[in-house]
Amino acid sequence: MPTLGAQRKSPVDRNAIARVKAMARARFRLTDDDAVMVTEIECGVPGCPPLETIIAFWTDETKRHHTKVFKPVAEVVDDDLPPWWMKDALAAEEIFGCPCC
């Protein structure tokens, strides 16, 4: 029977995730206190790449930023990340508590 939840990642995957986290920290000049999340997801939508990497980080304890790279995490290189000066453009508006939801 298939299991739900997180799947085990191989050491190579963990190393790739750690490498991309370090690249994001360096690129966007993040501190050790800023949370960084890197994950690889499958996309089943036609025309979408089969695997893509999501990079999200939080600054100032409340500001969430995110970007997507259209390749597996093991293939992400430094040039795939936006330039550091686009950090504020990657910020997402938080909509929790809005009247529509």
Phi-psi region of 7 (alpha: psi -120 to 50; beta: other; left: phi over 0): beta
Q: Which two tokens stand for residue 95?
A: 């909509």
Give the model's confidence band at 9: pLDDT under 50 very low, under 70 low, under 90 confident, else very high: low
Count of other CB atoms within 10 angstroms of residue 46: 5
pTM of the model: 0.79
What separation in angstroms does the CA of 1 have from each of 4, 6, 11? 10, 15, 25
| Distance separating alpha carbons of residues 94 and 58, to the nearest angstrom | 12
- Which tens digit of pLDDT belongs to each residue from 36-85? 999 999 888 888 888 999 999 998 767 899 999 999 999 999 999 999 99
The pLDDT of residue 4: 46
Is pLDDT at 101 greater than 80 in this prediction?
no
User: What DSSP character marks residue 13?
Assistant: H
More reliable by pLDDT, 82 or 9: 82
